Structure formats: structure tokens, C-alpha cells
Amino acid sequence: MTKDKITTKDLSKAATAARWKYRGDGKTQQEIAGLMGISQAEVARYLKLAREANIIRIEVDPHFTVDLKQKLMETFPHLREVIIVPIAGIPEERSDLLLSELGTECAHYFRTTVRHNAMIGVSGGETINSFIRSIGRFRDQDFSLPVACRIYPLVILLTAEVIAITPAALVANFVSCLPDSRGKAFQLPSVITGGRRNVSVANIYKENPEIKALNSEIEHLGYYFVGIGCIDYSGRARHIRNAREISTHLFNSLIRDFNLLPALKKYNAKGECLNQPFDENGNFLTAKSELEPLRNFSLALPADTLSSHVEKQTANVVGVAGGLVKHEAVHAALRAKIFNVLITDSLTVEYVLKAEGRLTTDTTE
């Protein structure tokens, strides 16, 4: 690669190799080559580029992301902070590596920003799960963490299924990481009766005094950590074993149950947050008549509450998402103004800026 043809993708790959070489346990070039799906010689070239581009100093220091961050914050003035993970060259089947990097950066943000006695809300999903696992590693390494926090789920599921990425499970895991902290971990019995979802049962849950009290409390938290999901129009997630980055498991299961994909396609839905889909312009679609099942069977913090906090700057609303399949969803979520802190990867930021006309040169080829 010649100096005048170095792209954002090249620099991101160089930073990826440098992070794995010089941070943490210090992987070998052969190990990095295996993780990135390239040759050891290519790893050596990317490490050389990292040195030449001043990415490697005392630590991985990717200055090329500063311009991306500045342009993104100028384009979306509601953002108060952007944290960009410079990472590329990860094979699709190892999307867990990107999730790990995003989770680690979110945990660093949490450790340096959140104070004792904080009130914190979390969504479900693999990315937030990765963030909480990283908090657990900080605890094990004796990093200072806030104490006596209160942790809340931002979505209550009406299902008997318990998996690691449900909000209730994540609240429980989060509480175990923070000293003297407490949480509310609601997950209600299934509303499925006779093979069909029962609206009357769902409404009974909505009127439960404890649920109503929780819904009132989560409107006034100091910190919100939310994932951004994409919509699995292709059905690929059902056939791919490692589908973490392909779709939001819980939301896409719900829309398949109700055959809502045609309606979401009709309204050009690009992503979802807290089980609430939005279109390419950031308009939320839950009020559409065809999407009534989402209103009936999703007990979640309304997305406009997040937008209100962002507009008034009354809370830190942290959106965490990245990867190729999330590009359109993150872009639309930025237009929806549902978070004022974004933690993502460099190629996602580049995609958003090009879509907004802020980057006119082709830097990704």
C-alpha cells in the first residue's frame, strides 16, 4: 500500500493488529493472523503501518479517529461524546471479537464516568452483555468501580425463556459486578396460551403495581446503556450458529412470531432500540396500526423518553453498536437522537459520514 492510498480500513486494520499485539496479554503475530484471517506477513505490514502512522506510541493511539469523531459530532450536535474503536479485518464468523472490543471500551467509559449511588438502566442484547462481562473483568483486576448503584431493566420480557442476554439476566449479572449494588430483575411468565399470545394476560401484567412503579422509576435514571439492533429481513440469523452480529435475538424472534416483517419492510425500518423499530430518518414506527403486537407485548421504556433526556441533557444515554450489519441501524439511530454518547467502530462512523455527505472521497476500498 502506498502512502497516498492508505485508507481508513487500512488504518483500522493496523490499529486492530496493534491493539492485540501491545494491549492485554500481547498476542503473537501468528495468533493475530489467525484472528484476522490474514497471513503473518500481512500482520507484520499492518504493524509497520501502525508505527509509521503514529498509531503505536506508548499505547495504541489511533489519531486518525480524531477527525472522524469531530466530523460526527459536528453532523449530530446532540452527541456529547463519541468513542471510536479502530478495528477492521475481523472475519464475519468472529464477530464476537468486535463485540468484545466494544464492550471493553464501554466498560472503560463506565469506570471513568459513573459515580457511586448511580441509577443505571440497561437494555438486553449481546453488545450490552459484552459490556457487563468487561465490568466483571475490571472487578477481578481490582479496578475501582462505583458502589451502591441501582440497576434497572429497560425492557421486561413476557416469556418463560431465560437466556444470558435478556435484560433481567443482565441486571443480575451487573449487580454481581458492583459492590453493594441492587437491581430489579423482572421477567414474567409467558403470555402464550393455547399456542397464541394472549393480549388480556399481557394487559394484566402492565397493570401490575410493581411493574407500573418500575416503569415510572426508569424514566428518571442518570445513565442508560442501550444496544441498537438491526432487523433480520433475510432470516439468516435462524441458520447461522454464531449470529450475534446478525440480529437482535429477542426482537427478531418477536417479529417473526407475529409475521411483522412485511409491515417493517413497508415502512423501511432500519433498526430497533428497546424493541421499538425506527425508519431510515429516525422516526419510530411502533404506533403504526400493523405493528400493534409490539405495543401489546413489549413492556419497555418508551424511546421518546430517551430522546427527551438527550434533548434536555438530563442523563447520559449511551448507545453501543458496531459492525457491518449495524451500519444502517446506527445511522438511523443517530437521526432518531436517542443517545448522546456513542461507542462504535471506525468503519461504522465512516459509513455514517459518507451517507450524510461529510466524507466525499472513497476511503473504504
Per-residue model confidence as pLDDT tens digits over 128-151? 999 999 999 888 877 789 999 999
Contacts of 365 (CB under 8 A, 6+ apart): 7, 9
In 149-271, which ranges are continuous DSSP H helix?
Answer: 167-177, 199-206, 209-217, 249-257, 261-266
For the stretch 296-355, pLDDT in tens is 877 899 999 999 999 999 999 999 999 999 999 999 999 999 999 999 999 999 999 999
- 10 Å CB burial of residue 9 (0-12, 13-18, 19+) is middle
Assess contact for 148 and 118: CB atoms under 8 A.
Answer: no
Q: How many residues does the chain have?
A: 365
pLDDT at 363 over 70: no
pLDDT of residue 335: 98
Under the banding of pLDDT at 50, 70 and 90, the label for residue 227 is very high
- Is the pTM value of this prediction over 0.85? no
All structural domains of the chain, each given as residue ranges with its CATH number in brackets, are 1-62 (1.10.10), 64-355 (3.40.50.1360)
Residue 170, helix vs strand vs coil: helix
